[in-house]
Amino acid sequence: MPGRGINLCSRVIWLGDLNYRIHLPDSTTRALVERRKWNVLLENDQLKAELMKGRIFRGWQEGVIKFAPTYKYYPNSEVYYGCSEEIQKSKKFRAPAWCDRIIWFGEGLKQSLYDRGECKLSDHRPVRAIFSTEVESFHNSSGFKCFLSGRIECFKSIKRTSSDELSVASL
C-alpha cells in the first residue's frame, strides 16, 4: 500500500550490517581493539554519535555493547584484517568496527541480551538479541478481520499461468 512504512508500526527491530565505523585513525582503532578498550572505541562510534545527536533514527535505541567489534575479520580466523603482515596486502583494508547492529523503535520493548556470535564463515561476526514485550491480542478484533480480508484479496489475485509458474495479477 502506498504511503505505508515501518513508521506506522508500534514496534520495530532492525538488524544487520548498518555499516557504521569508528571515527578514529586506523592505527589508534587497532591499538584500542588489542587492549579491549570498548568504551573508548564506542565513544567514537559513528552510529552512537548520530543517535545521540538525533540526526538519524530519531527515537530509536540500541542496547549496551559489551562485545568486540564485529568487522572486518579474515574469514575462518580470529584475526582482524590488517593485523598481520600477510593480510595487510589485502585491498579491502578496513579497521575493526561494530558494523553489525540491532536497533529498535517503540514502547514496551525490553532487551535482555545483546551480544555477538562467533561464527567465522564471513568477515563479519553475527549479532543477536533477545527482546520481550507485551502484545495486544487482536484475534477476535475487527483489525484482525481486516488483515485477513486484505490477504484473501491478495491471494485471489494470484493466477496460475499455463506453464505452472505463479504470477501476480495485481497487488
Look at residue 164 and tell me whether its pLDDT is greater than 60: no
Considering only residues 150 and 106, tell me which one the structure prediction assigns the higher pLDDT.
Answer: 106
- What is the separation of C-alpha 96 from the centre of its chain, rounded to a whole number of angstroms? 17
Rounded CA separation 171/153 (Å): 9
User: Which tens digits make up the pLDDT trace of 118-153?
Assistant: 999 999 999 999 999 988 766 666 666 666 666 666
**pLDDT given at position 155:** 61
Rounded CA separation 146/64 (Å): 39
CA 121 vs CA 75, 78, 81, 126: distances in Å: 6, 11, 14, 10
Query: What is the percent of the chain where pLDDT is above 70?
Result: 71
User: Which tens digits make up the pLDDT trace of 28-54?
Assistant: 999 999 999 999 999 999 999 999 998
Q: Quote the pTM value.
A: 0.73
The helix/strand/coil state of 51 is helix
Rounded CA separation 146/163 (Å): 33
Rounded CA separation 171/158 (Å): 9
Look at residue 158 and tell me whether its pLDDT is greater than 80: no
Nearest to 125 by CA among 82, 73, 84: 73
pLDDT range class, residue 81, cuts 50, 70, 90 = confident
